[in-house]
Structure 1
Amino acid sequence: MRTDEEIAELIRLYLPKQALFEIIDQFQLDIMQEHGLPHWIRVAANGLYLAPETGASDKLAVLFAIFHDCRRLNDYEDPKHGARGAAYFQESFQQRLGIGPREAGILCRACAGHTHELHSADPDIGTLWDADRLDLYRVGVHPDPEYFSTEYAKSEEVVKWANRSAFSSFNQLLPIGQELLSEYESISIS
């Protein structure tokens, strides 16, 4: 089981601040609302929590968390947002972040399919989708284990982790999120 600090270090490692700040700049919604930065950080944390048990890539867990909802036009019905996030990643970040074709393909498939595909036998894609679905607690929805791709996501340990994550304040659970937001705001103001 990873600690909050280990998770924060992995987020710092795989998410260059400048890239995150560019993504925040183009985000069409309130960055602190339902599909904004707090959700992205929780999805990254969920993915990084699952990854050691599922064999998923830590890097893909962090990148998926940021890109899967970054092109939403609203917080409700927006069925193409995942595909737009995947395209945005490919056009603007794949080369800069040094992501090869195999990893990019997995990330783009996961982003594009995260709202309408049910399961994936691929350990990376299944883990990424589970990480997002585990954050449904934030909107008062208890995720149905039937929709998880990995057995580990169904475990009592993970359910407790996800509940803790969803109902903790943004800076209480993972100070990395508040740290990144504060730095972004200080740069935006200057």
Structure 2
Amino acid sequence: MFKWFHRRKDNHSKHLSEFKERLVMQELASLDIEAIKQFALKDWELGETHGLPHWQRVERNGIILATSEVNITVVRLFAYLHDKCRIDNSYDVEHGKRAANMINGIRHTLLKELTDNELELLSKACELHTTTLRTGNLTIDTCFDADRLDLERVGIIPYPNKMATSKGQYYAKNLGEFYDLAVLLTME
């Protein structure tokens, strides 16, 4: 009975194992993600719409979307820093540029373990995440899609043709499967 459910569950378990394996292989080196979270929360006044719950979902989404070619450190840092410089919960198109400037300002403190390439990827991902559809760089584009897959929190359904990666497009077409994986990953 319900063989389809067991088959889906087994398939999700395989994906979940791959996510965990990827996280172990690409840990945050010497970076302290808790320190990054605390920095992001410092002086945060805009509530949860673009705050910690959103950032945690973006991190989770990035883990789901990341392939072996994606720099998971950059994706996880993006999750907590991309909206840090918002001054408004609605239309604030410049917050990405402000976040990129902020990132350069913490280069020698919180982000001192990043390579120059990682810093550039993180800065560009933050700067462009609200103004650019895709860049062609898989790490940056994964950051974009990790954020876009959380648009339902503000009543917007992610459109597959507005996603930057093939995995993002797939999951935007198959949101039920995406949410199943998200729940499984959260439960682990």
After TM superposition, give the deviation of residue 84 of structure 1 in Å: 1.2
1:50-105 per-position Cα deviation (integer Å, ceiling 9, x unaligned): 1126x211101100101110111111011111111122122125543311211111
Whether the 8 Å CA contact 1:94–1:100 is kept in 2: the answer is no
Whether the 8 Å CA contact 2:62–2:142 is kept in 1: the answer is yes
Q: CA RMSD in A?
A: 2.8
Aligned letter for 1:117? T
Query: How far apart, in 2, do the equivalents of 1:147 and 1:175 lie?
Result: 29
Whether the 8 Å CA contact 2:160–2:170 is kept in 1: the answer is no
Structure 1 or 2, whichever has the larger Rg, is 2
Which residue, out of 21, 37, 44, partners 2:38?
21
Whether the 8 Å CA contact 1:28–1:71 is kept in 2: the answer is no
Aligned twin of 1:181: none
| Structure 2 unaligned blocks of 5 or more | 1-14
Aligned twin of 2:55: 40
Structure with the higher helix share, 1 or 2 = 1
Which segments of structure 1 move beyond 6 Å, counting only runs of 4 or more? none
Aligned letter for 1:61? V
Query: How far apart, in 2, do the equivalents of 1:158 and 1:58 lie?
Result: 23
| Structure 1 unaligned blocks of 5 or more | 177-190
After TM superposition, give the deviation of residue 162 of structure 1 in Å: 4.2
After TM superposition, give the deviation of residue 159 of structure 1 in Å: 2.7
Whether the 8 Å CA contact 1:56–1:123 is kept in 2: the answer is yes
Query: How far apart, in 2, do the equivalents of 1:83 and 1:126 lie?
Result: 17
- Matched positions, count: 166
Aligned twin of 1:188: none
Query: How far apart, in 2, do the equivalents of 1:158 and 1:6 lie?
Result: 22
Query: How far apart, in 2, do the equivalents of 1:43 and 1:21 lie?
Result: 16
After TM superposition, give the deviation of residue 129 of structure 1 in Å: 0.4
Query: How far apart, in 2, do the equivalents of 1:87 and 1:99 lie?
Result: 16
What's the TM-score once normalised by structure 1's chain length? 0.75
Aligned residue for 1:74, secondary structure, equals: coil
Query: How far apart, in 2, do the equivalents of 1:58 and 1:160 lie?
Result: 24
The percent of aligned pairs where both chains have the same amino acid is: 30
Aligned letter for 2:36? A
